[in-house]
Chains A and B, each alone.
Chain A
Amino acid sequence: MDLTDSALFTVLVAMLGGAIRVSTPFLFVAVGECLTEKSGRINLGLEGNLVLGAMVAYATSFHTGEPWLGVLAAGVSGIFLGLIHGTLCSLPRVNDIAVGIAMMAFGTGLAFYFGRPYIQPPAPLLPSIPLGNWTGIPSLQRALEINPLFFVGIAVALLMSWFFRSTRWGLIVRTTGDSAPAAKAMGVNVDLVRILATASGGFLAGVGGSFLSLYYPGSWNEGLSSGQGLMAVALVIFARWDPIRCIWAAFLFGAAGAIGPAFQAIGITQGFYFFNAAPYILTLFILASSARSRSSAREAPGELSIVK
């Protein structure tokens, strides 16, 4: 039996392709959440950003015929939600976790409301770059058709790592997240930094949402996102607030999410729902094993309500 015909090969290739596709929205949301959490706030509402971003991107692409404009519009919708979250949480005695839950409901509600007319009509989708032509194996070629947003996501993660490490603004964000009194003593407007960090994080989550509707799965419907925005929050804890580690974590989550479809590709449909639940189970397991580890305690931003 030839290598390319074996079931294992099919599954592995399908998982590779799936991991690249599935991980991209995770990557954007996680890097955005990483920025927000580094500033000392947690935004649990990124699920709402993701869904609203997906809807806005699809609608914009449908009306203008320009998918990249859709990506931008999705980001802007994410800024909108992020600004609301950031501003509300700056009020005294307002709990950021509760506001996150509310923004999740608000964002999804808006998306479902305005998204109704866009469930049927097809909109122009994002193009992909065929990087697998050299292999000569069709299944591998399909797996290596990669969307540019994947590389943009990696670039953003690298850029953010540099931003935190080597820029003045990065230092300000980190200080704000580690100790608000210290930041105040530096003359930093803590609330403003956090609002901006939440809005930028919201932008990235919105862009992540555009990937869902404009590339993979590549259509708009109300069941499009199933908790990716929330899993990304857990992913950031797992990646210990490091953008570079977010890349690897997103890839791992993407691979877990690709297990179900990969088995389907070789005709195994038994336990389909359990394979689909794999990312959630993995997240839970990772949280249970990493939440109280010593390195996590050391690297967590000191102002974060979730680790207190």
Chain B
Amino acid sequence: MLGTAPPGVAMAKAKAPLRLGPAVEVVVIVTGALLTAAAIFSLFLLAIGHSPVRFFELVYIGGFGSSFSFQNTLRRAAPLILTGLAFAIPARIGLTMIGAEGALVIGALAAAALAVPIVTQGWPVALTLTAMALAAVFAGGLWTGFAGWLRHSRGVNETISTLLLAYIATAVLFFFVEGPLRDPGSANRPSTMPIGRDYMIGTLPGTNVHWGLVAGILCCIVLWLVMSRTTFGFAVRLSGGNPRAALAQGLPVGKLVVLCAAIAGGLAGLAGFFEVAAVHGQANAALVAGYGFTGILVAFLARQNPLAIIPVAILFGALAASGGLIQRRMGLPDASVLVLQGTIFVTLLAAETLYGRFKIFRPRGDER
């Protein structure tokens, strides 16, 4: 008898159904949604007389095909990581904040505006860049934190208010760039004074990818730790899951809401800082490039998981990087990338309904 299990147990083990965890469920469903979106988009391409194979081949070549194109991809992924986080963090507490574009613009403007007097006084580079980054994070944090405060104290829907603030941010940018902060030398394209080559953040050694990528990845790791391993993160997730229970536990839900919104704005502001200090060297209309809005999609695809945001942002960076190639080789307008993004977005949300439907992903013993 020793060493052999009773026959009943052995039978149960043999019959125990195969079960995969919820993590596999996420990967399977998200991948399925992506493939469905690719299929729908392929039909769309076929309908207008283009080859889908060629399209995805070009996305691969333009995004990952060579060291040059991969660096281009990473360069575009850097702001997407930060704006993706800017959506994902407030989403954890139940906020749908879609105004990262506005906080990015305000952060960039603050950084560029601060740089103008500092650079002429000849501050050391490191100090200047730190001051600019802090100004950007602070300005972005205040901008979106305001929407969080409106939500908490006045009950204003944060989705609408953040989008309105994004439009206001663009107006503020144009006002300053074409008015008080305009560099008289920028004739055709009104801009602020360039911060100068010496003050620009360099690139990672041996590449032309700027440090914003490293900052973004660091933010992802830190925020993942904060969200999953700290009391603060637990309080945020609890408040997002069940605000009433959180209040009953004595958690300051209102403060957490404002704080999460401010963190989101700070992250987007940081993205704006890198756009100024590493890419454009000044603030102008080129800042309004849709990074904030693509970030929403990145966060949805990553299911608000800070670590998953990194690969997803690189994927969308590749899509953006290959836009030009697709335009040149296939004659498709760059809006085709927008259509693909929209299709992915819609499919992904429709796939939300599939979670929990398949028995195979439930934990063992859950036989509903």
Contacts and interface: CB of A to CB of B under 8 A. Distances in A.
A139 B98 CA distance: 41
A276 interface: yes
Contacts of B353: 91-94
Contacts of A226: 167
Chain B interface mostly: helix
A283 interface: yes
A277 interface: yes
A280 B300 CA distance: 27
Contacts of A273: 171-172, 174-175, 178
A237 B154 CA distance: 14
A106 B346 contact: yes
Interface string A79-95: 00000100010011111
B171 A231 contact: no
Chain B CB within 10 Å, residue with most, of A107, A230, A289: A230
Interface in A54-97: 84, 88, 91-95, 97
A108 B155 CA distance: 29
A116 B333 contact: yes
A112 interface: yes
A112 B161 contact: no
A283 B147 CA distance: 13
Q: Which interface class (under 10, 10 to 19, 20 to 34, 35 or more) fits A?
A: 35 or more
Contacts of B160: 44, 230, 233-234, 283, 287
Given A113-B339, A116-B335, A227-B167, A105 B155 contact: no
Contacts of A237: 157
Given A105-B341, A113-B339, A95 B349 contact: yes
Contacts of B163: 227, 230
Contacts of A292: 154-155
Contact of B159 (A97, A103, A105, A112): A97
Interface string B167-181: 110011011001100
Contacts of A44: 159-160
A266 interface: no
B156 interface: yes
A95 B352 contact: yes
B211 interface: no
A287 B159 CA distance: 12
A284 interface: yes
Given A93-B353, A280-B164, A291 B178 contact: no
Contacts of B174: 273
A110 interface: yes
Interface in B281-324: 293, 296-297, 300
A306 B157 contact: yes
B355 interface: yes
Interface in A243-296: 270-271, 273-274, 276-277, 280-281, 283-284, 287-289, 291-292
B175 A281 contact: no
Contacts of B178: 273
Contact of A280 (B98, B168, B179, B339): B168
B9 interface: no
A231 B167 CA distance: 11
B254 interface: no
Interface in B247-265: none
Contact of A291 (B98, B157, B345): B157
A101 interface: yes
7 contacts: A44-B160, A91-B350, A93-B355, A108-B342, A113-B336, A231-B164, A291-B155
Given A230-B164, A271-B175, A284-B164, 16 more contacts: A108-B342, A109-B340, A110-B339, A112-B333, A113-B335, A227-B163, A270-B179, A273-B174, A274-B171, A276-B171, A280-B171, A283-B164, A284-B156, A287-B160, A287-B161, A288-B156
Interface of A: 44, 84, 88, 91-95, 97-99, 101-103, 105-110, 112-113, 116, 226-227, 230-231, 233-234, 237, 270-271, 273-274, 276-277, 280-281, 283-284, 287-289, 291-292, 306
Interface of B: 96, 98, 150, 154-157, 159-161, 163-165, 167-168, 171-172, 174-175, 178-179, 293, 296-297, 300, 333, 335-336, 338-343, 345-346, 348-350, 352-353, 355
User: Which 3 A-B pairs give the minimum distances between C-beta atoms?
Assistant: A106-B342, A109-B338, A277-B171
